[in-house]
Amino acid sequence: MIKFQNVSKIYPPDIKAVDNVSFEVGSKEFVSIIGRSGAGKTTLLKLLLAEEKPNQGRIFLNDQDICRFKSTKVSELRRKIGAVFQDYKLIPSKTTYENIAYIMEVIGVSDFEITRDVAGVLEIVGLTERANSFPAELSGGERQRVAIARALIHRPEVILADEPLGNLDPYHALDITRLLLKINTLGTTVILVTHNKNIINSLGKRVITLQDGKVIRDEQNGRFIL
Ligand SMILES: Nc1ncnc2c1ncn2[C@@H]1O[C@H](COP(=O)(O)OP(=O)(O)O)[C@@H](O)[C@H]1O
Ligand SMILES: [Mg+2]
């Protein structure tokens, strides 16, 4: 479903953020990416979202070369990929409901569909009761649930989560990991970037390890080894 073929990303003057990386991720797979700070994890995700262009190599989503996409195809691509970040990126002045509905309003979805779909994703993340709360009224774990609900709203094929556990205590980190596993079980591919050793070692899923922009390990039932 996702294929990186000899992909390199060099930031000027000559920072090799991603260095000749090749891997494939199958449909409905759950893959974690680990690596020290600066290893190239975020750059890898940005390449997949077409926020950055590779200097070398090709990136495919469902056999389409995303590096050749024009802007309308890039918008389409970003609706197929939901992104979640460490700092949630919620709008403080909007409620849970509004934070999710907002992106549908922007693309002109009907009110009927917005109400139905927002209720659906809130149900999945278990936040129906918090629909009218503002981010400041929510715990870190709940904020990340809102961000995940927002990422799910376009029914993406893939969820990219860039250190989503980074600001959470162990209890909420486990909680969000379970939610990502549930979303994966419901049929969405998940790519999880995390520094959380305990979570990685308890998942028993595929782990790709990056070092200096290179894949140094790619194992099913991988462990946290840096
Ligand atoms: N926009 C940028 N311009 C220049 N260098 C960058 C930029 N983004 C990232 N880098 C560099 O690329 C390398 C990989 O960064 P990044 O992908 O953010 O790593 P990670 O997410 O694993 O911490 C680092 O050396 C970082 O400083
Ligand atoms: Mg990063």
Mean pLDDT over each residue of the chain, to the nearest integer = 97
The CA 38 to ligand 1 mean position distance, Å, reads 6
Residue range 85-93: average pLDDT? 97
Quick one: CA torsion of 211, 212, 213, 219, rounded to 10 degrees?
A: -10
pLDDT of residue 25: 98
Mean pLDDT across 35-43? 98
If phi over 0 gives left and psi between -120 and 50 gives alpha, with beta otherwise, what is residue 34? beta
CA–CA gap between residue 72 and residue 192 (Å, rounded): 27
Q: Which atom of ligand 1 is nearest to the CA of 210?
A: 22
Most ligand 1 atoms within 8 A of CB, residue of 21, 33, 37, 43 to mutate: 43
DSSP E strands, 80-146:
81-85
Ligand index nearest the alpha carbon of residue 36: 1
Cα–Cα distance, 138 to 122 (Å, whole number): 14
The DSSP bridge pattern shows strands 30-34 and 214-219 to be: unpaired
CA distance 128 to 173: 20
Atom of ligand 1 nearest to the CA of 18: 14
3-state SS class at 184: helix
* pLDDT reported for residue 133: 98
Q: Given a cut of 90, is residue 22 above it in pLDDT?
A: yes
Start-to-end C-alpha separation, the chain: 27
Closest CA to 21 of 224, 212, 194, 162: 212
Domains, the chain, ordered by start: 2-219 (3.40.50.300)
Ligand 1, atom nearest to 37 Cα:
23
Please give the helix or strand (H or E) that residue 79 lies within, else none: helix 71-80
For residue 15, how far is its CA from the centre of ligand 1 (angstroms)? 8
Q: Which one has a higher pLDDT value, 226 or 128?
A: 128
CA atoms of 83 and 161, how far apart (whole Å): 6
CA–CA separation, 122 and 133 (whole Å): 12
Percent of the chain scored above 70 by pLDDT?
100
Residue 214: pLDDT over 90: yes
pLDDT category of residue 152 using cuts at 50, 70 and 90: very high
Each residue's pLDDT tens digit, 112-144: 999 999 999 999 999 999 999 999 999 999 999
Ligand in closest contact with the CA of 44: 1
Q: What confidence score (pLDDT) does residue 197 get? A: 97
pLDDT of residue 107: 87
The whole-model pTM stands at 0.97
CA–CA distance, 43 with 17 (Å, rounded to integer): 7
pLDDT at 143: 98
For 190, phi and psi rounded to 5 degrees? Answer: -125, 130
Average confidence (pLDDT) over 34-56: 98
pLDDT grade for 10, boundaries at 50, 70 and 90: very high
